[in-house]
């Protein structure tokens, strides 16, 4: 089978995907160890029997709903390729907006240390330290298996000496700090997402009721001056009034991407909490 034939065949096998052609390209390029451009430059090249068998297997897995990132073992985020597996949530494009806002806060207030809660693959912590050469990050997660992946990502980008990884629940380990960034699970259990999400660790995605239980617990038990958190736009009308009631004087601003999509909140407390 030629490369062009393989791509056309694979694209037709993925009708449920929103990006069938891209999926087909990424998976074949991954197997061959080439770029997507190379696939078209060498479109008449024939695949070896071993490559063809492996490609058919990967396409079958993708057809069943397995995310491309789990099939290739990597996901691009903030210009970096992160190691991912089924133990961690796949980094999302909207989280890049959270990173950008966090960098702005760090530079605006000349901060040297940031605490991250729910680090997962370590994508936020690594992206921050790669872009801010003097920054130190304390990154925590309740899953030790997720932390193993995060450490690998920190090592591959040479920032492991500036990131301290801690196995902890929410902010229980955090003293009074300037800035906390968090991307906690916030999808309600009765919400039906894309089928790909069901291949990801449920504890990194779903939360009972309105999906904000972990964030409420986090805010009540973590002392900080600034926080940048990711959550769904449909949850703003629930969380913002709750924050204003429980933390009077708090300034709350939406975090939006370039298209105006709200993907989180920037929170500034009037004074450092002593509770």
pLDDT tens readout for residues 244-269: 999 999 999 999 998 999 999 999 99
Give the number of domains in the chain.
2
pLDDT of residue 75: 98
pLDDT of residue 192: 67
pLDDT of residue 270: 75
pLDDT of residue 193: 72
CA distance 245 to 247: 6
In this structure, of 158-167, 188-197, 209-218, 234-243, the range with the lowest mean pLDDT score is 188-197
Q: Which two tokens stand for residue 59?
A: 């396409």
Sole residue written with tokens 């929170």? 267
Kindly state whether residue 273 falls inside one of the protein's structural domains: no
In this structure, of 96-100, 137-141, 192-196, the range with the lowest mean pLDDT score is 192-196
Statement to judge: residues 45 and 114 lie in one domain: no
CA distance 19 to 36: 14
pTM of the model as a whole: 0.92
Statement to judge: residues 235 and 172 lie in one domain: yes
What's the CATH number where 22 sits? 1.10.8.10
User: What are the CB-based long-range contacts (under 8 Å, 24+) for 19-25?
Assistant: 23/62, 23/68, 24/59
Residue 271 — very low, low, confident or very high, per pLDDT cuts 50/70/90? Answer: low
Q: Which two tokens stand for residue 84?
A: 């991912």
Q: From residue 259, how far is each of 124, 256, 262 by CA, in Å? A: 21, 8, 9
CA distance 131 to 164: 17
Statement to judge: residues 7 and 47 lie in one domain: yes
Sole residue written with tokens 């997507």? 36
Statement to judge: residues 57 and 99 lie in one domain: no
In b/e form, how buried is each residue of 48-80, taking b as 16+ CB within 10 angstroms? eeebeebbeebbebbbeebbbbbbbebbebbeb
Mean pLDDT of 60-79: 98
pLDDT of residue 195: 82
C-alpha distance across the termini of the chain, in Å: 67
Kindly state whether residue 241 falls inside one of the protein's structural domains: yes
Residue 194 — very low, low, confident or very high, per pLDDT cuts 50/70/90? Answer: confident
Residue 275 — very low, low, confident or very high, per pLDDT cuts 50/70/90? Answer: very low
Statement to judge: residues 140 and 190 lie in one domain: yes
166 pLDDT higher than 60: yes
Kindly state whether residue 220 falls inside one of the protein's structural domains: yes
Burial label for 101, CB within 10 Å (0-12, 13-18, 19+), is: buried
Count CB neighbours of 259 within 10 A. Answer: 6
pLDDT of residue 172: 84
272 pLDDT higher than 50: no
What's the CATH number where 91 sits? 3.40.50.150
In this structure, of 81-85, 126-130, 226-230, 231-235, the range with the lowest mean pLDDT score is 231-235
Statement to judge: residues 114 and 36 lie in one domain: no
Statement to judge: residues 116 and 237 lie in one domain: yes
Statement to judge: residues 150 and 234 lie in one domain: yes
pLDDT of residue 273: 43
Statement to judge: residues 22 and 140 lie in one domain: no
Nearest to 10 by CA among 58, 51, 66: 58
Statement to judge: residues 232 and 150 lie in one domain: yes
Statement to judge: residues 121 and 247 lie in one domain: yes
Contacts of 6 (CB under 8 A, 6+ apart): 24, 28, 47, 52, 55
Statement to judge: residues 252 and 138 lie in one domain: yes
Domain assignment of residue 29, given as a range: 3-64
pLDDT of residue 191: 76
Kindly state whether residue 69 falls inside one of the protein's structural domains: no
Kindly state whether residue 114 falls inside one of the protein's structural domains: yes
Kindly state whether residue 128 falls inside one of the protein's structural domains: yes
């Amino acid at each position: 089978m030629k490369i062009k034939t393989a791509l056309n065949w694979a694209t037709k096998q993925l009708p449920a995907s929103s990006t069938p052609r891209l999926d087909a390209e990424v998976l074949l390029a991954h197997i061959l160890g080439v770029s997507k451009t190379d696939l078209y430059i060498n479109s008449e090249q024939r695949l070896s029997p071993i490559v063809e068998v492996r490609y058919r297997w990967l396409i079958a897995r993708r057809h069943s709903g397995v995310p491309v990132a789990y099939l290739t073992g990597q996901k691009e985020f903030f210009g970096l390729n992160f190691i991912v597996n089924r133990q961690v949530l796949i980094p999302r494009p909207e989280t890049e907006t959270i990173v950008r806002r966090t960098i702005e806060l760090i530079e605006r207030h000349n901060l040297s240390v940031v605490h991250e809660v729910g680090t997962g693959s370590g994508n936020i912590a690594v992206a921050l330290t790669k872009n801010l050469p003097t920054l130190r990050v304390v990154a925590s997660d309740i899953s030790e298996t997720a932390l193993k992946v995060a450490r690998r990502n920190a090592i591959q980008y040479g920032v492991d000496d500036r990131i301290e990884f801690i196995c902890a629940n929410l902010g229980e380990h955090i003293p009074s700090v300037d800035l906390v960034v968090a991307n906690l699970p916030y999808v309600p259990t009765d919400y039906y997402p894309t089928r790909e999400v069901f291949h990801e660790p449920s504890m990194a995605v779903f939360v009972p009721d309105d999906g904000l239980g972990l964030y409420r617990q986090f805010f009540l038990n973590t002392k900080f001056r600034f926080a940048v958190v990711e959550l769904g736009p449909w949850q703003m009308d629930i969380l913002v009034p709750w924050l204003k009631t429980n933390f009077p004087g708090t300034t709350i601003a939406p975090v939006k991407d370039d298209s105006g999509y709200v993907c989180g909140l920037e929170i500034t407390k009037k004074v450092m909490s002593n509770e």
